[in-house]
Structure formats: structure tokens, C-alpha cells
Amino acid sequence: MTTPLQALHGVTNACQLLPSVATGGQPSSAHLSAFKEAGGAIVLDLRDPMEPRPLDEASTVRSLGLEYENVPVGAGTLDDPTMERILGVLRHAGSKPVFVHCGSGNRVGGALIPFLMLDHGFEEEDAVGQAMRVGLRSAELMEWGLDYVRRHQAT
């Protein structure tokens, strides 16, 4: 059987971050179909609905029988409510395979730092390293994730 990562072959910065979390840039309809066939369950789209894209992603995902969640990450949304919506989707997914994407993986990296640290026990250096591996390139997005962790870590 094809793995979610194999299904996403060709997606910019495709990465299997955790056993149930694959990440990357914008997928095509063929990638989404292959993700479904590989056991995928949820697509978490961090792009603004107004960003140009090659397909009507919400309709495509739903027509495949996958769950579609859109939590736009961008200027003006780097706040706790946005992070909590992202974490809510990931935590609710449990062991169901999730594909988290934006245009390139940059926003994905920043948004997943708290999930890695708070939910999976990663140390800061390891979480940032993984975020960079999935496409994080923005210091602002990195700081958004780290600031959230600093304010929500158990003491």
C-alpha cells in the first residue's frame, strides 16, 4: 500500500513529519486522490481562500470523502485563535492521517512548532529543525509558534 508521503510525491516540500501527519505545499487533485487512497482522512489547508490555486480544493477534497479544514495563516492571523484552531484540528484527528499544507510549507512549519513541542514533547531545537525541514523560512512564523509555546507550556 502507498504511504501518505508516497502519495504526495511531487508536492513542494512533501514530508512525513509524524506517523499521522504529512506536510507540504499546494497539492494537485491527483495528489489529493492519492492521499485518500493511501488512507488519508483530513486535509488541513492553511492558505487563504482568496489565494490563487489550481483547483477548487474544498470541493475536490470533500468529493473524495476526506474532511476539509481551512485555517488561513497570514498577516493579521498570527494569533492565538488561529493557532488554537490548527491545534484543535490536529488533536481531534488523533491517529487519522492528516495532510497539512500551505503554498510552500513555510506557514505549515511555523504552525506545527507548538504541536511538536506541546503535544509530542520535542525540544525547541528539534521542533524548529523539523519545521525548517517541512519548509519554514520565515523568522516571523517561527517566532509565532515559539511564542505560543512559551506562553502555554506547563511550568
What number is the average pLDDT over the span 50-58? 93
Instruction: Read off the DSSP letter of residue 93.
Output: H
Distance CA 66, CA 77 (A): 25
Half-sphere exposure of 119 (CA within 13 A, CB side): 19
Looking at every residue in the chain, the average pLDDT score rounds to 96
Band (pLDDT 50/70/90 cuts) for residue 154 is confident
- Listed by start position, the domains of the chain span 4-152
Mean pLDDT, residues 26-32: 97
Specify the pLDDT at position 40. Answer: 97
The share of the chain scoring above pLDDT 70, in percent, equals 99
For the segment 47-70, the average pLDDT, to the nearest whole number, is 96
Question: 4-152 domain in CATH 3.40.50.300?
Answer: no
Nearest-angstrom CA–CA distance, 109 and 155: 25
Measured over the CA atoms of residue 38, residue 2, residue 15 and residue 90, the dihedral's sign is positive
pLDDT at 1: 75
* Residue pLDDT, tens place only, 94-147: 999 999 999 999 999 999 999 999 999 999 999 999 999 999 999 999 999 999
- Determine which helix (DSSP H) or strand (DSSP E) holds 98, and give its type and residue range: strand 98-101
